[in-house]
């Protein structure tokens, strides 16, 4: 594959190619990218091939059955995301000058926040029907990268990034609770000492997850080493594991509304729990929020704590 001079590459690149590439990189699947963009898989493959010809390097490679970015692909993804993000910012700023009442904002959600943020959006949409809000979800590490690359306007997360040129506002308390199968021997016990759980299997999220960081800090605080740890890749998988009796886990109370309502799990009354953390809205200091993003940002600041308090009051 021949290298292409920079000036030539800029002339030959298209926004469509960048959009297709970023979606394929996010999904790590041409088939899922095609579904998301309402294109055919051959069309996705063609756009990626054309982009690789322009760049002069392979951007994707197959490792076994999995699709992965090459080193060049990782580097190009960072710059492509910033280009798209800057153009979206320009569109929003120009729209504000024209006095447009609507607008679009892209918000990052840690996976736990997906359980309540869409419900808040439904309330927001009642008074702002012309604002289009797009959610991107991932673990804490993924969202920090998205903030850095200007892929999102702001993020909702349980622990703001450290040593990062970003601003964080607290929007609500985030109690993390120990949860077990509904028939667990300690389900109805009171004031359990944490070390009584030393024989339990703990279900833990993957590295990069904020929930995992909270659990690791809890172990360190209590000088506690669990008998066994099983790592699972999502909150849903962890909850399914708890309901199947695989083990116990520390989860945000706000991710458990359906399971508690259906009485499929029990909250363990363990000393020093719940572990109280906060929900934050985080955006880069260099980011000037467009009117649509600013309106949703202010709505979350004002409404998140009252909504969560009302929804989960019965679980104490």
CATH of the domain at 42: 1.10.10.10
Residue matched to tokens 């199968």? 181
Q: Are residues 155 and 297 in the same domain?
A: yes
Same domain? For 296 and 238 the reply is no
* 51 pLDDT above the threshold of 70: yes
184 and 200 housed in the same domain:
yes
Residue 90 has pLDDT above 80, yes or no: no
* pLDDT attached to residue 247: 93
> 59 with 131, same domain?
no
Give the pLDDT of residue 4.
53
Question: Is the model's pLDDT at 93 over the cut of 80?
Answer: no
Q: What is the pLDDT of residue 81?
A: 82
Report the sign of the C-alpha dihedral through residues 31, 36, 41, 42, in that order: negative
pTM, full prediction: 0.67
- pLDDT greater than 90 at residue 177: yes
Question: Mean pLDDT of all residues in the chain?
Answer: 86
pLDDT at 316: 63
Is 205 among the domain residues? yes
pLDDT value of residue 95 = 65
- Quick one: pLDDT at residue 98? 55
Answer yes or no: is pLDDT of 99 > 80. Answer: no
Same domain flag for 282 and 166: yes
Q: Looking at residues 156-174, what average pLDDT do you find?
A: 89
Looking at the predicted structure, is the pLDDT value of residue 302 above 60?
yes
First to last CA, the chain: 62
Please tell me the total count of domains within the chain: 3
pLDDT tens by residue, 289-299: 888 888 899 99
CA–CA distance from 152 to each of 123, 132, 172, 283, 287 (Å)? 21, 14, 21, 9, 10
Residues 6+ apart with CB under 8 A from 104: 88, 91, 92, 131, 132, 133, 134, 292
Q: For residue 227, what are the domain limits?
A: 174-276
Pairing of strands 201-204, 228-231: parallel
Q: Is a pLDDT exceeding 80 seen at residue 94? A: no
Instruction: Determine the pLDDT at residue 5.
Output: 54
Shared-domain flag, residues 182 and 123: no
Residue 96's pLDDT is what? 62
The answer on pLDDT for 179 being more than 70 is yes
Higher-pLDDT residue of 100 and 105 is 105
How far apart CA 90 and CA 84 sit, in angstroms, is 10
Range 60-85 average pLDDT: 85
- CA dist 101 and 128 (Å) reads 9
| 252-272: average pLDDT | 91
Greater confidence, 201 or 99?
201
Following CA atoms 260, 262, 268, 273 in sequence, which dihedral angle do they give, to the nearest 10 degrees?
A: 0
The span from the CA of 203 to the CA of 312, in Å, is 23
CA distance 256 to 239: 8
CATH of the domain at 154: 3.40.190.10
Convert 59-92 to b/e letters by CB count within 10 Å (16 or more is b).
Answer: bbeeeeeebebeebbeebbeebbeebbeebbeeb
């Amino acid at each position: 594959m021949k290298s292409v001079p920079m000036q030539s590459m800029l002339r030959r690149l298209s926004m469509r190619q960048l959009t297709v590439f970023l979606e394929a990189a996010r999904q790590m699947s041409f088939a899922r990218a095609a579904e998301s963009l309402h294109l055919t898989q051959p069309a996705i493959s063609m756009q990626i091939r054309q982009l690789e010809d322009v760049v002069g390097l392979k951007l994707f490679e197959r490792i076994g059955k999995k699709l992965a970015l090459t080193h060049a692909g990782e580097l190009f993804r960072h710059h492509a995301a910033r280009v798209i993000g800057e153009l979206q910012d320009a569109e929003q700023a120009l729209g504000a000058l024209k006095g447009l009442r609507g607008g679009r904002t892209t918000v990052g959600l840690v996976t736990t926040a997906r359980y309540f943020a869409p419900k808040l959006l439904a309330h927001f949409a009642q008074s702002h029907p012309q604002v289009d809000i797009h959610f991107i979800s991932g673990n804490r590490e993924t969202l920090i990268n998205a903030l850095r690359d200007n892929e999102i306007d702001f993020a909702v997360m349980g622990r703001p990034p450290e040593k990062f040129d970003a601003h964080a506002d607290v929007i609500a308390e985030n109690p993390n609770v120990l949860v077990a199968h509904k028939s667990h021997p300690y389900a109805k016990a009171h004031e359990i000492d944490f070390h009584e759980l030393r024989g339990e299997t703990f279900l833990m999220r993957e590295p990069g997850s904020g929930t995992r960081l909270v659990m690791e800090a809890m172990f360190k605080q209590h000088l506690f080493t669990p008998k066994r740890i099983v790592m699972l890749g999502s909150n849903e998988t962890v909850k399914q594991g708890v309901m199947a009796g695989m083990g116990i886990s520390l989860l945000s109370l706000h991710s458990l509304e359906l399971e508690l309502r259906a009485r499929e799990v029990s909250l363990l009354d363990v000393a020093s729990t719940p572990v109280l953390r906060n929900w934050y809205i985080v955006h880069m200091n260099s980011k000037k929020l467009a009117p649509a993003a600013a309106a949703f940002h202010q709505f979350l600041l004002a409404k998140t704590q009252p909504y969560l308090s009302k929804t989960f009051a019965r679980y104490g």
